[in-house]
Amino acid sequence: MPSTMPMPIDSDAGRPRLAPHVRLTFDPARQRYVLLTPETVTVLNDTGAAILELCDGERTVAGILTELHARYDRVVDDEVRLFLTDLLAKRRVEVSDG
Amino acid sequence: MDRPFGLLAELTYACPLHCPYCSNPLNLGDYCDELTTQEWQRVLAEASELGVLQLHLSGGEPLQRRDLVEIVRSARGVGLYTNLITSGFGLSPRRAELLRAAGLDHVQISIQADEPTLADRIAGARSFERKKAAARLVKSLGWPLTVNVVLHRHNIDRVDRILDMAADLGADRIELANTQYYGWAWRNRDGLLPSRAQLECAEATVRARRGRLDGRIEIIYVVPDYYSRYPKPCMGGWGRRQLTVVPNGDVLPCPTAHALPLPRVSVREHPLAWIWERSPLFQRFRGTGWMPHPCRSCGRREIDFGGCRCQAFQLTGDAARTDPVCHLSPDHGLVAAAVRAANSDTQPARTPLTFRPHPDRPVKG
Ligand SMILES: C[S@@+](CC[C@H](N)C(=O)[O-])C[C@H]1O[C@@H](n2cnc3c(N)ncnc32)[C@H](O)[C@@H]1O
Ligand code: SF4
Ligand code: SF4
């Protein structure tokens, strides 16, 4: 199953998506977006939520960056890459190439 | 006060298996007056309002509840992430499809070992092949699968083969959980506690395999607290992140607090929000004000919260003492003695194990 093999965000051509056991949802009690796994809750800020909503397995990292720049004034590309790399290491996100 | 993130719903203590490491309480028969479907639905709605995001459906064996599909549907209806924690025993293809359609998010199946003779001996029933079939069924329906294996003296030498099995089954994650000594496991502690040599060998295997399997299967390794210098931050702090509702509707800050000499509180008598915010039970060990010496002045008091109240009670008879697992605890000798016994040459390799029985229970749901 090569297409589901997680790999590092070492190029902007990868297509990130949430790992199968992960759900992104809005938490009405806390009024925040959260990322859920069976054992963890990650409370997200608005930028984090915006990035993850774009991780649909179709868009490339480059595509996500373009989209974010179109929506927000101050987007630091390396911070977005770092955010995704961290979630990749924690296996909340997977990346397929091609 | 924080809002809880997780609700552990122990739907029933009925279970077809007999694991001697089972953390369920010894007095299983006292929980047979189970909540009805409607009562659970109310609890789930109240939990969601209170801020709960994750629902863990467990037991006993949750598949023994005939209303499981309905409960899952209601949970998804109020927006909860739903996780089924099961032995896999009783997961027919039809049931699985219904659960999938109801929106169940994740399945965790526990398996006792990597081969049938040992696995069935530990489970106290022929179950290994059916568990494997259940795991394959879960994957074939496109669910994420976590395989859970509880580790102890009788299977910890097989971690390498256990990891192979989980990979073979297509598991996304494997949880290697060292036995925690509550309930039946507490009763069987001396027959379950592994030696230090066993543990070190298993941990070396986990490290090596993490490197090799990297990218395929996630390995979650739950450390054995008897061999740790510091206690586990039990439940992330008493009444801070999690709550448990047991089969008869009693609410507990942690799934093993049944035996603590504290006032009980039930969803049959109070709303969940009141229980979380105001009940004496949930306030008893919240924060740091209750702490004894040495925790009170310790730099780790907001990290591990003085450890586990149930373990303190079990070992010392006083739930308000420092968890004896901590090497700073004045009672640490109690844990050290158990560890010494597990490592002595005279430790009988076959300390007899008491298997968990079936509770007598009228079928609900
Ligand atoms: C009490 S069981 C109930 C669910 C189901 N009957 C099962 O065994 O999978 C919940 C989970 O805790 C694990 N477990 C049971 N006793 C344990 C113990 N003493 N220490 C650590 N994990 C334990 C089981 O393997 C299972 O994953
Ligand atoms: S006896 Fe085994 S299968 Fe049954 S509830 Fe306990 S741990 Fe789960
Ligand atoms: S003394 Fe108490 S707070 Fe400090 S490490 Fe030990 S258990 Fe934790």
CATH number at residue A78: 1.10.10.1150
Residues of chain A with pLDDT under 50: 1-7
The finding on whether B28 has its CB within 6 A of some atom of ligand 1 is no
The finding on whether B15 has its CB within 6 A of some atom of ligand 1 is yes
CA angle B24, B224, B147 (to 5 degrees): 65
Residue A9 domain flag: no
Mean pLDDT for the stretch of residues B121-146 = 97
Residue A3 domain flag: no
Number of H helices, E strands in chain B: 13, 9
User: Residue B226 — very low, low, confident or very high, per pLDDT cuts 50/70/90?
Assistant: very high
User: Residues A12, B57: contact at Cβ < 8 Å?
Assistant: no
| Least-confidence region, from B177-186, B329-338, B355-364 | B355-364
Tokens of A66: 């373009």
**pLDDT value at residue A51:** 96
The finding on whether B250 has its CB within 6 A of some atom of ligand 2 is no
Domain range holding A32?
15-93
Please give the distance of CA A12 from its chain centroid, rounded to a whole number: 13
For residue range B271-322, what is the model confidence (pLDDT) as tens digits? 999 999 999 999 999 999 999 999 999 999 999 999 999 999 999 999 999 9
Residue A7 domain flag: no
**pLDDT value at residue B95:** 97
Res B186 pLDDT > 90: yes
**pLDDT value at residue B169:** 96
| Least-confidence region, from B138-152, B205-219, B296-310 | B205-219
User: Which of B56, B105, B218 lies closest to A23 in CB terms?
Assistant: B105
Residue A8 domain flag: no
User: Residues B67, B98: contact at Cβ < 8 Å?
Assistant: no
Query: Which percentage of chain B shows pLDDT scores above 90?
Result: 90
**pLDDT value at residue B347:** 60
Residue A5 domain flag: no
Query: Which percentage of chain B shows pLDDT scores above 70?
Result: 96
3-state secondary structure of B137: helix
The finding on whether B150 has its CB within 6 A of some atom of ligand 2 is no
Domain count across chain A: 1
Q: Quickly list H helices, B108-195.
A: 116-123, 128-140, 159-168, 183-187, 189-192
Identify which of A83, A93, A84 has the alpha carbon closest to the alpha carbon of residue A21: A93
For residue range B71-97, what is the model confidence (pLDDT) as tens digits? 999 999 999 999 999 999 989 999 999
User: Residues A42, A34: contact at Cβ < 8 Å?
Assistant: yes
Q: Which of A36, A94, A96, A97 to mutate to test the interface with B (most CBs of B within 10 A)?
A: A36
For residue range B42-76, what is the model confidence (pLDDT) as tens digits? 999 999 999 999 999 999 999 999 999 999 999 99
User: Residue B27 — very low, low, confident or very high, per pLDDT cuts 50/70/90?
Assistant: very high
Residue A26 domain flag: yes
**pLDDT value at residue A33:** 96
Q: Which of A39, A87, A93, A96 to mutate to test the interface with B (most CBs of B within 10 A)?
A: A39
User: Residues B322, B294: contact at Cβ < 8 Å?
Assistant: yes
For residues B84 and B65, give the distance between their C-alpha atoms in angstroms, rounded to a whole number.
12
Residue A98 domain flag: no
Question: CB B341: neighbour CB atoms within 10 A?
Answer: 15
Question: CB B330: neighbour CB atoms within 10 A?
Answer: 13
| Least-confidence region, from B124-138, B149-163, B332-346 | B332-346
User: Which of B5, B146, B220 lies closest to A41 in CB terms?
Assistant: B5
- CA-B180 nearest atom, ligand 1: 20
